[in-house]
Amino acid sequence: MEQLLEGKTAIITGAASGIGKSTAVLFAQNGANVVVADIDEEQGKAVVEKLKTQGVESIFAKVDTSSAEDVSDMVKTTIDKFGSLDIAVNNAGVGGESALIGDYSVESWDKTIAINLSGVFYGMKYQIPAMLEGGGGSIINMASILSQVGFARSCAYVAAKHGLVGLTKNGALEYAKEGIRVNAIGPGFIETPLLEKNLDDEQLEQIAALHPQGRLGKPDEVAELVLWLASEKSSFVNGAYLPADGGYLAQ
């Protein structure tokens, strides 16, 4: 099997579960050394052990992406261990509370924006200089279908994910000539612990029915798109927003 990322080093935030975990496994299968970054140390280290069975190097970095210091340390750790950074997947995120804007708590707003938007800015701020040192790289920011449309009772999440697409476009414009590509992926509703934690079975069925394909997406399906954007197969794709949503946004 062709290894699309052989010899590359990647950081993946939120890699202890869901889309991040699936991406980490797929990257390892394609020859990349992977920094598994997450706030969940137990699950994150378990992913590292799984990746090592693929014959690649992997380390865990405990990171709260709402902390600029944590994110800076994550990049420094990567460079210290592997000598370079080629790929960054800014995937960590939270859903925030479910409430109307007039009832939405300031605490949940601040936390959701801090992790879902500021955390990606911190990632890019420290990842880009490291990539410039190595002559370029690929950054993939995990957006959402809610980067394009609203969703009642999720104002902070929707606002953060809309902002994330703008940040992605700016990064692409600013660093294209230096060999850095920045793209965003917009998953529909995916079978992840984040979703299952917040919705019961009946709600999950209702959400699945919103997608023309009639089901939720799977983490592996999104990971395949992340892999393509990380590889040279997508060498002329820059500043793009690519949905993986079972047709949700076509409606």
Q: What distance in Å separates the CA atoms of residue 218 and residue 55, rounded to the nearest whole number?
A: 25
208 has a pLDDT exceeding 90: yes
**Radius of gyration of the chain measured on its C-alpha atoms:** 17
Q: Are 241 and 184 in contact (CB under 8 A)?
A: yes
Residues 161-173: what's their mean pLDDT?
98
Tell me the pLDDT tens digit for each residue of 46-85. 999 999 998 999 999 999 999 999 999 999 999 999 999 9
Residues 199-204: what's their mean pLDDT?
87
pLDDT number for residue 199:
80
Q: Are 57 and 82 in contact (CB under 8 A)?
A: yes
Q: What percent of the chain has pLDDT over 70?
A: 100
175 an active-site residue? no
Of 122, 157, 175, 248, the active-site residue reads 157
Q: What distance in Å separates the CA atoms of residue 199 and residue 207, rounded to the nearest whole number?
A: 9
251 has a pLDDT exceeding 90: yes
Residues 105-125: what's their mean pLDDT?
98
Distances (CA, A) of 138 to 2, 22, 75, 221, 228: 19, 18, 15, 19, 10
pLDDT number for residue 1:
65
Average pLDDT of the chain, as a whole number: 96
pLDDT number for residue 198:
74
Q: Are 66 and 118 in contact (CB under 8 A)?
A: yes
pLDDT number for residue 200:
83
State the Cα angle at 48 between 45 and 53, rounded to 5°: 140
Helix (H, G, I), strand (E, B) or coil at 27: helix
Domains of the chain: 9-191+218-243 (3.40.50.720)
Among 109-118, 196-205, 219-228, name the one with the lowest average pLDDT: 196-205
